[in-house]
Amino acid sequence: MNSAYLYAAARTPFGRFGGALAEVRPDDLAAAALKGVLAKAPGLDPAVIGDVVWGCANQAGEDNRNVGRMAVLLAGLPVSVPATTVNRLCGSSLDAAITASRTVESGDADVVVAGGVESMTRAPWVLPKPSRAYPAGNVTAVSTTLGWRLVNAAMPAEWTVSLGEANEALGDRFGISRERQDEFAATSHNNADKAWNDGFYRDLVVEVPGVDLDRDEGIRPGSTSAKLAGLKPSFRPDGTITAGNASPLNDGASALIIGSEAGARNIGLEPLARIAGRGVHANAPQDFGFAPVEAAEKALKRAGITWSDVSAVELNEAFAVQSLACVDAWGVDPAIVNARGGAIAIGHPLGASGGRILGTLAARLRESGGRWGVAAICIGVGQALAVVLENENS
């Protein structure tokens, strides 16, 4: 079996819902990320790319009909470059990276591009087709922006609660206070702001043509838990989850070049990190926020290491409460988690977030000289994914 390596990572800035990227189609966002990551490997002939694996959670509007293939064509790659689109909801682009790594390890290709995209702003309303012709009554358009839609009546009610209610219940289960959540969220914003000011994201983020946005749009410098404490609960009158301690709705795309050791000759770069372990786990649908705990444990076991070896963690912050539950369960030092900001500040365009956290993790390992890192993400309907990276230059 070959080893699979991450050679390059790029992403667009993440825009707010209805913000600077609202007028950009998701297939154009995907093409921008794809061109951005390939620009980091100017010696790579795109014709040798064995496959492109792209993640997208919605696929109900302009991102339909295999948005990965659309990105390849819009980016001007040779028509001979194939592409597929995968959907594991919030984990779609991390799933794409996992699929790409398996493709490389099996020897089916030496160079694969993985990535993902989401425009939550441009997610359409949908109308179900009627069960009989010419219905006389009214019909209701359903938003596809986030969460369950057109739910099957056979699903138990506890499985189909809102994402927010599911995480309020998680907070009750583990006794995670509003104060801890607000402090976690403020730290996310301040870490992200510092990272941008330090130039950490300068080489990771690429521009979107025609858009004046050079930084993630949702970061709030100077955030404090005291300021966040003034926000009203979003899901329960007496709840702990607010718009300030949960990830927002966002638009953006991410991309990665993954290849074998031999693929370095075509890519023209030294690898950033080796993909050393992968893990997937599923809980009951309402317990999705806690699923990264076991996904990461599986990935660590497959990499042959333990948490004591890990110096950096990138955990997608869907909600502060579920992030805290996972960090508590792992028993890791919170200081190594999302040290350059997380999704509460940076944003969570669903299909793009997995690629973002994996690229950020590799950059953090290179910056610190640490050897081992974990990227993990929770996924609606009860799932999670995790990847272990090894910095072989540590």
Helices (H), the chain: 26-38, 67-74, 92-106, 163-174, 178-198, 225-228, 264-267, 292-303, 320-330, 343-346, 353-368
Residue for token pair 């984990």: 91
User: How far is residue 149 from each of residues 89, 153, 252, measured CA to CA in Å?
Assistant: 13, 11, 22
Q: Which of 56, 90, 189, 281 is catalytic?
A: 90
Is 189 considered catalytic here? no
Q: Are 85 and 69 in contact (CB under 8 A)?
A: yes
Q: Which of 56, 281, 326, 378 is catalytic?
A: 378
Strand partners, 118: 252
Using the CB atoms, write b or e for 210-226: b if 16+ within 10 Å.
ebebebbbbbbeebebe
Q: Which of 56, 189, 281, 348 is catalytic?
A: 348
Q: If you ran DSSP here, which 8-state letter would residue 282 be given?
A: E
Is 281 considered catalytic here? no
Is 90 considered catalytic here? yes
3-state helix, strand, coil in the chain (%, to 5): 35, 20, 45
Collapsing DSSP to helix, strand or coil, 349 comes out as: coil
CA 301 to chain centre: 23
How crowded is residue 311: how many other Cβ atoms within 10 Å of its Cβ? 18
β pairing state of 111-119 and 15-16 = unpaired
Known catalytic residues are: 90, 348, 378
